[in-house]
Chains A and B, each alone.
Chain A
Amino acid sequence: DAGVIQSPRHEVTEMGQEVTLRCKPISGHNSLFWYRQTMMRGLELLIYFNNNVPIDDSGMPEDRFSAKMPNASFSTLKIQPSEPRDSAVYFCASKWGPTADTQYFGPGTRLTVL
């Protein structure tokens, strides 16, 4: 299996621009998570989907952030407009079923907002 795939791996943009991060979960997994990792805050859960439906988005920092999962094999995290404080590594993870099972993380997207 290819594992969780994220793109792009690195993104550098200017303040005010729209940023779209992409994730392809492992085939057969039906739970998907978006995380943000920074030195200051550590690993933060932004949003969690189960069977393509957002279950908990309480971690989304503000209205500038939005996430979609139009089908079982694709999800996006969008930031519009981006700000320098959004600079972080964003991870996507997937797992099988609504159980306390292992999550599989992608390699992450390193976002730098200038």
Chain B
Amino acid sequence: GNSVTQMEGPVTLSEEAFLTINCTYTATGYPSLFWYVQYPGEGLQLLLKATKADDKGSNKGFEATYRKETTSFHLEKGSVQVSDSAVYFCALSKSSGGSYIPTFGRGTSLIVHP
């Protein structure tokens, strides 16, 4: 079946540091890939997405590139801010019997210190 593996957290960084959160997936064919972010006390919200190989999703300074050859969708940001502290979820969505059932990773907590 489909699966998503994320690096374990928490990831702790100082403000303005470079961020990478690794995500790899297992799925047949070409799933769509997503990063969602969950701020404390809130639901998940879409951060960025990519729907085909070599696509780059970007939003709010975050980027991720759909790498089919390595089945990866790593999240990066050049300079993190305290306000980026949240839990980040990698996810895929792929057709199964005509339905698109999403698969989420376990989430990676990011803590940014001033």
Contact = CB atoms under 8 A, between A and B. Distances in A.
A50 B102 CA distance: 13
Interface residues of A, number: 23
Contacts of B3: none
A98 B101 contact: no
A114 interface: no
Interface string A77-114: 00000000000000101000011111111111000000
B104 interface: yes
Contact of B34 (A102, A105, A108): A102
Given A100-B51, A100-B100, A42 B34 contact: no
B43 interface: yes
A34 interface: no
Interface in B64-114: 89, 93-95, 98-102, 104-107
A55 B99 contact: yes
Interface residues of B, number: 25
B32 interface: yes
Given A56-B99, A98-B98, A100-B32, A107 B106 contact: no
Given A43-B104, A100-B32, A100-B94, A108 B99 contact: no
Nearest to B93: A100
Contacts of B102: 33, 45, 103
Interface in B40-56: 41-46, 49, 51
B89 A43 contact: yes
A102 B49 contact: yes
B49 A50 contact: no
Nearest to B91: A103
B43 A105 contact: yes
A34 B34 CA distance: 18
Given A42-B106, A43-B89, A98 B44 contact: no
Interface of B: 31-32, 34, 36, 41-46, 49, 51, 89, 93-95, 98-102, 104-107
7 contacts: A4-B43, A45-B104, A48-B99, A93-B44, A98-B99, A101-B93, A107-B42
